[in-house]
Amino acid sequence: MSNRFKKLRPFFAGVMTVSLVTAAFAPMESVSANPGKGNGQGNAAVEQQRGNSGNAPHGPKRDIEGVTMVDSTSFLVDFDKTYPKGIDINRMLEVEAELDDESVVEVELTDYGVSSDDRSLVTIEHANDDLDGLAGTLRINDFELDFDFADEEEMFSLNIFHTNDNHGRTNMFPQLVTTLNEAKETYGDGLLLDAGDVFSGTLYFNEFRGQDALEFMNMMEYDAFVFGNHEFDLGDPDEGHPELVEFVENAEFPFVGANMDFSGDPGFDHINQQGGISFGAEDGMIYDGIVKEVDGEQVGIFGINTEDTVDISSPMDVTFSNYAEAAQEMVDLFKEEGVNKIIALTHLGYDSDPSVGNDLLLASKVEGIDVIIGGHSHTEVSPPTVVTENEQGEEMEPTVVAQAGEYGKFLGVVNVTFDENGVVVDSDGELMAAGDRDPDPEAAEMLEPYTQAIEELQNEPAGSYLVNDLPNPRHGDGDEVSVRANETALGNLITDAQLNAALKANEDTIMALQNGGGIRAPISAGEVTIGQLIEVQPFGNRLTLLELSGEELMQAFETSVFDAPAENGGFLHVSAGTRLTYDSDLDPGERVVSLEIEVDGEYVDIEQDEMYTIATNNFTATGGDGYEVFAQAYEDGRGTIVGNTDWEMLRDYMAELGNVDYSVEGRIVNLAAQ
């Protein structure tokens, strides 16, 4: 594989003087050997020697003050004067090598470059195979320099191309295909990896359940995929994960997930080969870790998904273990098998919540991982981060950490060079913007029928007119309020739609609840389309009724406002006729001041011992976002899925209203904010 990246100089232990190390990496004015392109082995000490050494017969006189052997194909000369512009290097120097066996080899000079910072410094290239595997003395005019490339370590360079968090942006694949082809032309072949969350987020996904994206991923010939939390969004208490199973079955690449256990869901039995590592991984199968052979070298790949998938998605009977413990076990297994080049393909987040782990923590906690290709936090990491200290602050072998943003905007490129012991000695990378490339013609043709179907759905009238804009604010967008921390008009509309549907199933339902993390887009004023509603609630969650005591409801709302006024995806919006008052200045767990419901036109407090029927989506009802009190009630048989899909309930309710005009009404009040 080609390696066209600059070297990470801190990894090399050359013996140049400080001044010449700096000079060796200074830009050159003409096309030349890159002094940093070698592996740093065989560098000889610079000899600060003066004398009458500029006596080449056909060139101006120049003394040589120092020579540095860059690698077996190039060296750096420090002349005593500025290099004459336009003079061929062959007129300035005569070069030969006397080998240890006393034979003499003439060294043919092939190219040179003059430093733009110090024009007395010249990097010289010579014939590629002159000194490989040899040892002896290099003579440059009257200057002599010992070299030894007889024991030069064998280096291995690996390219990794990577994507993550596509979230249903199928329309980006034609440009990604072009970008990948360009990357391979530039850097050579390499591994292609995806760090999860292909599922959820757009009309493409709602219509085709990931099968559209998979067609392009198969075309691009991915080498491995790790499950993200959103791959489990369609989990159903009764049916499990049929759409995800279909996605795996039809994939022409393997899946990895070392801290995920699929054995509790029989739907995965025929595609689940977890346990240990596989040297012959099959397409459409799930493994803890796999070994790929690249240019005769074995490269280990294992997968890790965030443990809080159990709270933020619907994995049902798929379970998760500690990320660091699972990673350590995989590193140990690979090393036992003699595999010393190890990639962790993760969906943890670059620097996300440390309580559930992230890529930087993983790098410091588990030594022996060479590269971490990540997702989940949608972070643009360019160039890749290099972690060189463990969690105790002690120096460790480097771990290269990369992530490529979100939504197919970038193709990540990482190049790592390993020494003969599998230690990273060199790395670099970039994010190539897919949006700057033209779509691949074949891929663009593949996309057309998918886009046509989506456009028809996108533009289908929903039967309602929105009088005012309904924003979906987030703190990260600079808004003072957030759908994940405050009452919003859109949250009020959604919960009212749920209550409207719930009352038709059970007239005793007192309130409906919607987690803020499940509200994904605003709606603009004007005629409303089906496409807009699906973008607002893209997860296809179904209405669920729960029987709860007043005490359990109070516990649930303590969970809702636990992080206030900071954002929390589990923040609960409430339907009309419910009033929550809390104080975020009080200790978490003791913040709810009152929870009231409207009865015969009057607000009354919830009774601790009274039983109530409430409505929410099946994700929240089964414990999503950490609602253990809901999960326990559901497991006790006090929950019923009544079948209505979230965006369909919103469509029907808005159609009943015709003209829709919603605002913030004071349903949720934080006394601290007043």
The CA distance from 152 to 420, in Å, is 10
Q: What is residue 354's predicted lDDT score, i.e. its pLDDT? A: 87
Residues 6+ apart with CB under 8 A from 226: 194, 195, 196, 255, 256, 257, 303, 304, 305, 345, 346, 347, 375
How does DSSP classify residue 195?
-
Residue 346 phi/psi, 5° resolution?
Answer: -125, 155
From residue 595, give the alpha-carbon distance in Å to each of 16, 496, 554, 562.
73, 18, 7, 15
Under-70 pLDDT residues of the chain: 1-59, 128-130, 150-153, 643
Residues facing residue 316 across a β-bridge: none
Q: What is residue 57's predicted lDDT score, i.e. its pLDDT? A: 44
Which tokens belong to 434?
Answer: 């897919």
CA dihedral 57, 58, 60, 61 (to 10 degrees): -10
The CA distance from 592 to 53, in Å, is 86
User: Around Cβ 148, how many Cβ atoms within 10 Å?
Assistant: 15
Q: What is residue 151's predicted lDDT score, i.e. its pLDDT? A: 55
CA dihedral 126, 130, 134, 140 (to 10 degrees): -50
Residues 654, 656, 658, 662: is their CA dihedral positive or negative? negative
Q: Is the peptide bond before 383 cis (omega within 30 degrees of 0)?
A: yes
Q: What is residue 59's predicted lDDT score, i.e. its pLDDT? A: 66
* Residue pLDDT, tens place only, 515-566: 999 999 999 999 999 989 989 998 878 899 999 999 999 999 999 999 999 9
The CA distance from 67 to 93, in Å, is 12
Which tokens belong to 299?
Answer: 């490269």
H-type alpha helices, 481-616: 489-505, 530-536, 550-560
* Residue pLDDT, tens place only, 148-191: 776 545 789 999 999 999 999 999 999 999 999 999 999 999 99
User: Around Cβ 12, how many Cβ atoms within 10 Å?
Assistant: 17
The CA distance from 213 to 204, in Å, is 9
User: Around Cβ 343, how many Cβ atoms within 10 Å?
Assistant: 29
By DSSP bridging, strand 509-515 and strand 255-256 are unpaired
- Which domains, and CATH codes, for the chain? 9-148 (no CATH), 156-450 (3.60.21.10), 461-673 (3.90.780.10)
Residues 58, 59, 63, 69: is their CA dihedral positive or negative? negative
The CA distance from 115 to 261, in Å, is 57
Which tokens belong to 217?
Answer: 């991923």
Q: Which amino acid is present at 471?
A: P
Q: What is residue 109's predicted lDDT score, i.e. its pLDDT? A: 86
The CA distance from 248 to 250, in Å, is 6
Q: What is residue 129's predicted lDDT score, i.e. its pLDDT? A: 52
Which tokens belong to 505?
Answer: 């199933």
Q: Which amino acid is present at 518?
A: G
Residue 507 phi/psi, 5° resolution?
Answer: -70, -10
Tell me the three state secondary structure of residue 232. Answer: helix
Closest listed residue to residue 238, CA positions, set 206, 211, 262, 265: 265
Q: What is residue 458's predicted lDDT score, i.e. its pLDDT? A: 83
Residues facing residue 236 across a β-bridge: 240
User: Around Cβ 566, how many Cβ atoms within 10 Å?
Assistant: 12
Q: Which amino acid is present at 127?
A: A
Question: 0.75 exceeded by the pTM?
Answer: no
The CA distance from 646 to 630, in Å, is 19
Return the residue matching tokens 């240890």.
100
How far from each other are the two terminal CA atoms of the chain, in whole angstroms? 63
Tell me the three state secondary structure of residue 643. Answer: strand
Residues facing residue 62 across a β-bridge: none
Residues 6+ apart with CB under 8 A from 637: none
The CA distance from 506 to 634, in Å, is 17
Closest listed residue to residue 129, CA positions, set 187, 71, 215, 64: 71
Asked if 266 and 385 count as a contact pair (C-beta separation under 8 A), the reply is no
